[in-house]
Structures are given as structure tokens and as C-alpha cells.
Amino acid sequence: MVLLLCGALAMTLFVTGPARAKGQVRDSAWTVSGPSPRASDSGPLARLRLDRASGALTLQVSRSGRTVVEPSPVGIVTERADLSRGLRFVGRSDRTVAGQYRSTVGKERSRAYRMTEARFRFRGDGGARLDVLVRASADGVAYRYVLPSGSGDVLGETSAFTLPADADAWLGTYRKDNENLFKQYTAATAPAGEYMAQALFQTGGTYALIAESDLTGRYSAARLVHEEGAPTYRIGLWDQRVESDGPLSTPWRAMVVGDLATVTESTFTDDLAPASKVADTSWIRPGPALWTWLAGGRPAGQSLSMQKGYVDYAAARGWPYVVVDAGWYFDPDQWDVTDPDWQRNSWIPELVRYAKQRKVGIQVWIHQRDLDTAEEREQWLPTLEKWGVKGVKIDFMDSEAQQTLRWYDEILPATAAHHLLVNFHGSTIPKGIQRTWPQVMTMEGVNGEEKRVNTPEHLATLPFTRNVIGSMDFTPGAFHRAERPNAASDAGELGLSVLYESGIQNLAGTPESYDARPQARRFLEQIPASWDRTRLLAGRPGESAVLARAKGERWFIGGTFTGDAHTATMPLRLGRGKWLVDLVLDGADGLAREPRVVRGGDTLSVPVVKDGGFAAIACRWRPGVTSCDRPS
């Protein structure tokens, strides 16, 4: 009995801190730590502190004894109470949150997570209640606010992230479609303004990617607001007032923390999100697509014969999809969308039948304004399903307001019910949506191949920022566009098809551009529908990125580099034994193929041209094997 009492007392001290007299608050700081990612490295540790004088909360994040995020404000203001100050600690409870799930797309198919969750309970002025949930895992720290019914609308957050002043920062200024370029600053010297909530910071070899997860129509999307000269980035919400008529759990304020490989390979924002709401996912099939917009523009979207030609080309390549972009339902000579019998006038059913015979699925572009009411969704979605269309590319939401997020809450179950894959353009970024709604194959939220202002530095930053958070429809492969930032490097353009993960990898080139580059065409014919594993081989944001992604026993490698021509080196971190690395490089007369035999863990040396890159397939070496091509 004595031993049991001692054990209970020890557990009480662990959970709530030092004992305290009634009415006296001595607890002022608590820690939450996740499992260590490896024996030689301690994982992220969160330290929540309550200032007893002001009743204000701060959160600090460290890793292996080094501060990554300085003590930063934590708090929320509702129409009923200011819960950023005057708080009194009530109690703490801890639990372990762990699980496994399979993703339809992403950098890793089979996933397992384990987090420590601590719930801190506070009371504010007038008895207002606030719970702060803090989670820590091997690759991140996150927190959210939980408010009871009757708290009223949210007027804002005091949440912020304060970084070491000299921390390197990779930031993109905010815009409603999340498509601005990333540029490098330091945390304190970045210009004043608003930045996208996908900001990367680095200090002392440790990185922190600021993100959010579990964003739905119950709340408003965040951006980062920065004042010049200060290393603090506070949360700004799209809406000045977030409507709430019941209990509220805000989105997670997430920090993906670790070395660069840990951050790049992390699935933390998905792990935080709710489990899948789609019971049967057997119909959800990712894969490459021939995207006809950059290949043929609006005329292609208005021409059945052109689209049949694209279907034939995709079938010959083994690509499972063709995406018909804008124009197919806006030609007044074909049909009028206001006509109740409008579907009789479309040639899409004929294209679907033609494509089905060739084992190619059709996806179609549609403007969000044609799906923004329940009546329109009931008109469009069942019809597209009846026609046999496999997916929809929905464009021009151009908002992260609570009202728009509520529209996402409506379109997601509707597309799942009608077995339609989804690609959102002019949109928010994934933020955990792909775990909860696995039919979401990809989202734009990126300044991709369609735009004409990209830089080599932007290309080398995306794998460490936007693409960490979820699938990204950059639309690589547009060899025919002379203005692309790696125009002198066809090998670098080819490598983007691996470097950037997307559940539907929309390949943006013309058939003629692929036929003129048989090595690129051969490589793209090998691209898998999805990836089993992802590993960072080398890189630094804004300078270079080399990622390897596995499907079965084969690894696909893509690399991009900035600066002058040089020989790039990287460890072949694929496993022990001998590997055949089937390289595609820029040669004097175009793309060249160069097979090499290398041992796992050895250094791979690759010549790259100015602002160039490379692509490769790696497979286990066996005597007589000279190619990693998939058996025909």
C-alpha cells in the first residue's frame, strides 16, 4: 500500500507539477516531449509557460538542447473573453496518441505515428474556459485551442512564432492562391508584411517549418504577419470574425522540427489530421496524366479530335489519365450550360468511351462558380459520374475565408459520393486534407510550370516548404516552354517529375516535345502511380534538392541545382549492396543516358549544367543487368 501511494504521488507530480496550496498557483512551466527520432538525437520538446503576473502563455520549442522557437505568445480572443491574458492554471492531463494508416498518395504510403498529447486547462476573467492541447512527436510540435459552447465568435489569435533573430528564413509573401515565390532572408530582416503559413526557418542545423493542419469551415485560414526588425511572426486570420455557435477546436498550429531530412520526409501535418472519411477507397487510383492545357491551350479543350489524339498518346505511354482543361463547356456553338438538357450537347461522353477502350481515364476542369451551390453540384457531379469521368480539376476558389472553407466541407463528401478524384487549383494548400479526404489527389497552391516568373532558387525551395505539406500540382515536363527557369537543362526538368510529389502528376509538355527527347519519354513512361517511401539525399533550400522516391524495389531520383555548372555529389542512401543507377543527364547533343554501378551509402557524383539537374532510376544490380526499365 505504501508503494502504491508513493507511485500515485509521483504520477501526480509528473502530470501537474509541484504540489500547491489551495488557491495558490505555483505551476508556471510545463514540458511536453515526443519520442526521440534516433538514439543519438532527442526529439522536439515543447515548453509551455504561464506568466503568473500577466496570466499570459508562451510556448518554446527546442531540440537536443537547442532553442528552435523562442518563447512565443499563445492565446485567443473571443467576443466573450480575452484568453490571451489573465489565465489561471486549472489542471493537466496526458495521453499517448498513436496509430497507423495508409495514404492513397504522398511521400509515404504506409504511415505510423506516435505523439504525446498534453491538455492544459485554464480559466480566464469571468470564469471563461480555455484548453490548450499540445502534441509532440519525433518530427514536430503542434498546439490548438479548445473552447466550450458559449464562447462566442473568435475575434483573433495572439498566437505567434518568435525565431532566433539570425535564423535563416525562406518565405513567400501571402496571396489568396498561395502562389508567390519563396525567397531567403533572416528571421529579423525579412520585409514587413504577410507571408504564407508554410515558412521554413533554420538555426544551428535544425529546421522548423511553420504550418497548420485540420483546417475546415469551422475556422479561418492563417497567414503569418511580420513587422520589420522583429523575429516574430504572428498568426493573422483571413476573417476578422470567425463564426462559432458551439464547441470549437481550432486548427493545429504546427511546427515540423528536425534536421533537413526529417522535415522533408515528415508526414506530421497529415498525422495531425482526422482519419479518412471515405470508407471504400478502392476506386481511388493516382497516376500520371497528360495535361492538355500547356500542350494545346483552349483550342485543345474545345476539340474532340485533338483530345482523342492526346488519349492515343497517353495510352502509348502507359499514362492512366488525360486532363481536359478549360474550354470544353464554354463554347456557345456546342452547348449552353443554362439549357436543362445541356449534357446532351457535350462530346465528353464520347471521349470517355474512346479513352476507356484504350485504358485511359478522363478528368475535366470546372470552374468553382459552377459548383458553389447545392443545386449546381447536384446537376454536375452525378452527370460527370454517369458519363464515366474519373476526376475533376476545380479552379478559382481564390479565398481562404471561413465561407470558402465551408464550401470545401460540402464539395469533399459530394465528390467522394460520386467517385470523382479531385485536383484543387486556385486553392488553399493541403493542411491534412488528403488524409481525411483521400480522393484529393493534389492541389495547386504553388507557383508552378504554368507561370512565367519562376526562378531556379524557387525550384530548389519547394521540396522543403510547400511540398512537405502535401501533394503539389506543379505540372512539370513542359520542355517546350523556353521561359522555364531551367530551360538549359532538360535533365533538370525531367527530374522535377520525381522531385515534386503529386497524386496526379500532370505532365505539361506536348507530344512533340517528348518525341524529340526519347530519353525523357522513356523515363516518364516509367513513373509510378504513387510512392512507397521518400528520402532526401542532398540539398539546401534555395540552392539544391535531390530526393529519392521508391516504388517497390526501384528508386526514382530527381535533382535540381542553382548556380554554375559543376559536379554535384550526394550519398546514395538507398540501402546496402550494389545498385545500378540509370542516370539521365544533359549532354552535348541533348539528353544522355549513363548507367553506373554504385554501392549503397557511397557517394554518387553527377555533372550538372548551370541551373540544371538530373533524373535517375536505381535498381538492385545483378550480373548482366544494364537497365532499370520496367519489363515491357
For the annotated catalytic residues, the residue numbers are: 395, 450
Please give the grid coordinates belonging to residue 323.
Answer: 486532363
Question: In angstroms, rounded to a whole number, what is the distance separating the alpha carbons of residues 342 and 344?
Answer: 5
Helix (H) / strand (E) element for 414: namely helix 402-417
The two beta strands, 199-203 and 193-196, are unpaired
Question: In angstroms, rounded to a whole number, what is the distance separating the alpha carbons of residues 584 and 617?
Answer: 9
Q: Residues 356-360: contacts with CB within 8 Å, 24+ apart?
A: 356/388, 358/311, 358/312, 358/315, 359/315, 359/320, 360/311, 360/314, 360/315, 360/319, 360/320, 360/321, 360/322
Instruction: Render 584-610 in DSSP notation, one character per residue.
Output: EEEETTEEEEEEEEEETTSEEEEEE-T
Please give the grid coordinates belonging to residue 255.
Answer: 511546427
Question: In angstroms, rounded to a whole number, what is the distance separating the alpha carbons of residues 569 and 567?
Answer: 7
Per the CB < 8 A criterion, the answer to whether 241 and 207 are in contact is no
The two beta strands, 578-587 and 566-571, are unpaired
CA 263 to mean position of chain CA atoms: 12
Per the CB < 8 A criterion, the answer to whether 57 and 78 are in contact is no
The dihedral built from the CA positions of residue 502, 483, 548 and 429, taken in this order, carries a sign that is: negative
Q: State residue 353 phi and psi, 5-degree precision.
A: -65, -45
3-state helix, strand, coil in the chain (%, to 5): 20, 35, 40
Q: How many CB atoms lie within 10 A of CB 229?
A: 10
Q: Identify the three-state secondary structure at position 21.
A: coil
Q: In the chain, what is the straight-line distance between the N-terminal and C-terminal CA atoms, in Å?
A: 72
Q: Where are the beta strands (DSSP E) in 292-437?
A: 321-324, 361-367, 391-395, 421-424
